[in-house]
Structure 1
Amino acid sequence: MADSRTLTRPSAGRTPTVLVIGGGASGSAVTVLLRRSGIPVDLIEARPDWNAATGSGITLQGNALRVLRELGVWDQVRASGYAFGSLGVTAPDGTVLFVAEDIRTGGEDLPATLGMQRPRLQRILIDAVRASGAGIRLGTTAEILDQDAEGVSVRFSDGTTGRYDLVIAADGLNSATRAAIGVTDKPEPTGMAIWRVAAPRPQSVTRTDLAYGGPAYIAGYCPTSESTVYAYVVEACRDRAAIDPAAYADEMRRLARGYGGAWPEITAHITDPKKVNYTWFDRLLVEGSWHRGRVVLIGDAAHCCPPTLAQGAAMSLEDALVLAELLGAGRDWDGELFQAYHDRRIPRVRTVVEASVQIGQWQLDGVRDADMAGLVGRTMNLLKERP
């Protein structure tokens, strides 16, 4: 349900100010784009290290690359990642069953897919934010004190306060800001979990290959540079508290040993439990408006889906592009604008979330005649349109 409070425009001659809460992909991207429009932005990030060393790998489809090009970081991304244009499906023993050409969702002048190390992408975005001239505060959180028709008052974790025309909540899946403004939607587990690791790239790995079945539901890998690969195994959720983090490498290695092809080379490097990540798949789609007054949700704070379509980061980056475009267009910053942002995003995001969840659910239910290729094709062709 949309927020009905009346919002007023900033005083004539005054440039409106923005606080971005969260320095992940969506928060960093919207900061860079707003600064390009001359809008003053402060960005705060709860982690002192700005997540610069977190994560193994990420698969970026063309529509994500399109936004990264808009941000002005495509050259660095291209030089740091590994581009490819096809997807292989294999039997658990590594036998290639078929190879499909990836759909170029970013246009013919961009690769269909690019894998890269997630920490490297984060560092590129960090550099772009710093170069934008935004105010940056790390190791800092914010509490919404109150808001009225003209702005939002916040208190930072160091005890200082601030006043902004707009607050953009980019603080992730478990967004404290989302809850604070009265949005009750919460992430829900889908029933699947994923083991992830970064490893040296076998020379044979030049695209993503996915194996369905075997000891887990999915085993896959994606090249992330000339020298690295991102590998993952998807299984049913387990009680996270019952898994000793010191055994993470052993657990992933046990599952990965059931797969052939490039997996034996990859498995030999799954030795350090600190380099193995285990998380559940979650689903979130905030229903109704994505704003309350002058606080707007973006990225994982508004929606999240399993990585079965590799579209999570892309949807977050597209949010940033659309919201920044609207805010920089000279329109009043009012409920109509914030609702227009939601209305442009919700059909596309809903399609991706529902398709991503459906692919996993078919596997959980053991459906053998599911039209997975058709669903993927329809969804990816939709994403060729600009957001």
Structure 2
Amino acid sequence: MAVVSRVLTIGGGFSGMAASIQMRKAGIDVDLVEIDRNWRPEGAGITVSGPTLRALEAIGVFAEFTKRGYTSDGVDLFTPSGHRIGEIPTPKVVGSDVPGGGGIMRPELGRILADATLLSGVNVRVGCTYTHIAQHESNVEVTFSDGTTGRYDLVVAADGVHSKTRALLFPEVRPPQYIGQGVWRAVLPRPFDIVRPRMWLGGAVKAGVNPVSPSHMYLFVTEARPEKLQVDRAVWPQMLADLLAPFSDPVLAAQRANLLAAEAAIDYRPLANLLVPAPWNRGRVILIGDTVAATTPHLASGAGIGIESGIVLAEELARAAALQEAFDRFHLRRWDRCRMVIENSAQLCRIEMENGDKTEHTRIMRESVMALVQPI
């Protein structure tokens, strides 16, 4: 029997949904509030690592992922002119036979997890958030934006990188800081010969593609920018096309015209990271996911570590004899893993921006991948 019987999850993103689904499996009653009335994640494609596929398998949605996304093994490496220079293997994860990685449209992954959340019996309220939290010795009293109230044994805050819960409970923590690099993403038709991720390396601009379905792939381009980009969205397609101009590989050159189509759904995001020192709880409120551990995409593990944290939290709540014991075990299993992803991703980002030592970049990537395939 779980150490708690009634839990509130704040935020219906990937980590909040993962925690809620797994807590329901442990027999815990879960309410979830999501401020977005449409409950839809934004963004283009998302690269999913093998460890993240293992986490989705644990939740029970891997089969659906394979139907609506794309899985593969390995990453092909090319020069900007199209000369193949090698590959990055994606080793099998421990404890699972899932492929080494994959890709999917971010909104599609959101729908898969949302359907699973509802199917699990979580009581979901969209267009709703909290306005006040009052902690007591044995429970947490929460007032909601619709005027209702509720009492819970535990509150799980998964309200994202700009979390108001973190600002409330961890006022000493600075908001995420821009790190000097931005990432462009676009959705494009998939040429028949793009069957797994492909990256073009050279200079401070890195480009790559990843299949997200039988018909489409998503393009990602990282570039160093000293200041956050602040220009009209209308010029984004041309800016991205200009970034790809030095890449003479016909595969990329053929796609530049597609960037001007509305279907390309171009997205630009300045990169930032955040690592809140553990413990991540204040009393009976615990923060997970991007609220406390937000990373850049260099290890394709941002969504993954958040989903994993939701799984681990539910496991520890199910087996602990006391709430503090569950918190202690949760932090023991999550802190080093999340810290490694964030710090190593930041190092990879620095090397790319400075056009630095490729050997060091390869070493960090290899060591990180081997650590991530280990059990959570």
Q: TM-score range by the shorter chain?
A: over 0.9
Are residue 242 (structure 1) and residue 237 (structure 2) matched?
A: no
Contact 2:15 2:288 in 1 (8 A): yes
Query: How many residues end up aligned between the 2 structures?
Result: 373
Aligned to 1:167: 155
Q: Could you report, residue by residue, the CA deviation over 1:24-76 in whole angstroms, capped at 9, with x for unpaired residues? A: 11111111111111100011111111115x22111111111111111111110
Q: In 2, Cα distance between the equivalents of 1:87 and 1:242?
A: 32
Aligned to 2:314: 324
Q: In 2, Cα distance between the equivalents of 1:210 and 1:103?
A: 18
Q: In 2, Cα distance between the equivalents of 1:14 and 1:84?
A: 39
Q: In 1, Cα distance between the equivalents of 2:93 and 2:360?
A: 20
Are residue 176 (structure 1) and residue 135 (structure 2) matched?
A: no
Q: In 2, Cα distance between the equivalents of 1:252 and 1:124?
A: 30
Q: Could you report, residue by residue, the CA deviation over 1:351-373 in whole angstroms, capped at 9, with x for unpaired residues? A: 11111110110122232354222
Structure 2 residue corresponding to 1:365, chosen from 333, 354, 365:
354
Aligned to 2:305: 315
Are residue 283 (structure 1) and residue 273 (structure 2) matched?
A: yes
TM-score (norm 2): 0.94
Q: Could you report, residue by residue, the CA deviation over 1:265-312 in whole angstroms, capped at 9, with x for unpaired residues? A: 332221246811111111111113100001101111110111111011
Letter in 2 for 1:308: H
Letter in 1 for 2:260: T
**Superposition pairs for residues 81-100 of structure 1, below 5 Å?**
81-100=69-88
Aligned to 2:145: 157
**Superposition pairs for residues 89-128 of structure 1, below 5 Å?**
89-105=77-93, 107=95, 109-128=97-116
Q: In 2, Cα distance between the equivalents of 1:329 and 1:13?
A: 6
Letter in 2 for 1:386: P
Q: Could you report, residue by residue, the CA deviation over 1:92-145 in whole angstroms, capped at 9, with x for unpaired residues? A: 122211123212235561100111111111110010011011111111121333
Q: In 2, Cα distance between the equivalents of 1:14 and 1:378?
A: 36
| Root-mean-square deviation over aligned CA pairs | 2.0
Q: Displacement, 1:13?
A: 11
Contact 2:180 2:228 in 1 (8 A): no
Q: Percent of pairs identical after alignment? A: 35
Q: In 2, Cα distance between the equivalents of 1:46 and 1:241?
A: 27
Q: Which runs of 5+ in 1 are unaligned?
A: 1-11
Aligned to 1:262: 251
Q: 1:317 to 1:15 in 2, by over 3 A?
A: closer
Letter in 1 for 2:275: L
Aligned to 2:40: 51
Q: 1:137 to 1:238 in 2, by over 3 A?
A: farther
Q: In 1, Cα distance between the equivalents of 2:297 and 2:343?
A: 12
SS at match of 1:127: helix
**Superposition pairs for residues 213-224 of structure 1, below 5 Å?**
213-214=202-203, 216-224=204-212
Q: Displacement, 1:166?
A: 0.7
Are residue 384 (structure 1) and residue 361 (structure 2) matched?
A: no
Q: In 1, Cα distance between the equivalents of 2:177 and 2:359?
A: 23
Contact 1:362 1:370 in 2 (8 A): no
Contact 1:106 1:384 in 2 (8 A): yes
Q: 1:108 to 1:139 in 2, by over 3 A?
A: closer
Aligned to 2:283: 293
Q: In 2, Cα distance between the equivalents of 1:27 and 1:13?
A: 18
Q: In 1, Cα distance between the equivalents of 2:171 and 2:309?
A: 18
Q: Displacement, 1:159?
A: 2.1
Q: In 1, Cα distance between the equivalents of 2:312 and 2:93?
A: 17
Q: 1:163 to 1:61 in 2, by over 3 A?
A: same
Q: Which runs of 5+ in 2 are unaligned?
A: none
Q: Displacement, 1:88?
A: 1.5
Aligned to 1:225: 213
Aligned to 1:9: none
Letter in 2 for 1:250: Q
SS at match of 1:242: coil
Q: Could you report, residue by residue, the CA deviation over 1:215-271 in whole angstroms, capped at 9, with x for unpaired residues? A: x52111101111110101111236556310111112112212332242123322212
TM-score (norm 1): 0.91
Letter in 2 for 1:178: R
Aligned to 2:133: 145
Q: In 2, Cα distance between the equivalents of 1:377 and 1:283?
A: 21
Contact 2:199 2:207 in 1 (8 A): yes
SS at match of 1:318: helix
Q: 1:330 to 1:367 in 2, by over 3 A?
A: closer
Q: Could you report, residue by residue, the CA deviation over 1:315-367 in whole angstroms, capped at 9, with x for unpaired residues? A: 1111011100001115222x332132112111111111111110110122232
Q: 1:272 to 1:46 in 2, by over 3 A?
A: farther
SS at match of 1:194: strand
Q: Displacement, 1:183?
A: 4.7
Q: Displacement, 1:213?
A: 2.6
303-312 or 273-282, larger mean C-alpha shift: 273-282
302-311 or 369-378, larger mean C-alpha shift: 369-378
Q: 1:15 to 1:187 in 2, by over 3 A?
A: closer
Contact 1:172 1:299 in 2 (8 A): yes
Aligned to 1:209: 198
Q: In 2, Cα distance between the equivalents of 1:282 and 1:321?
A: 25
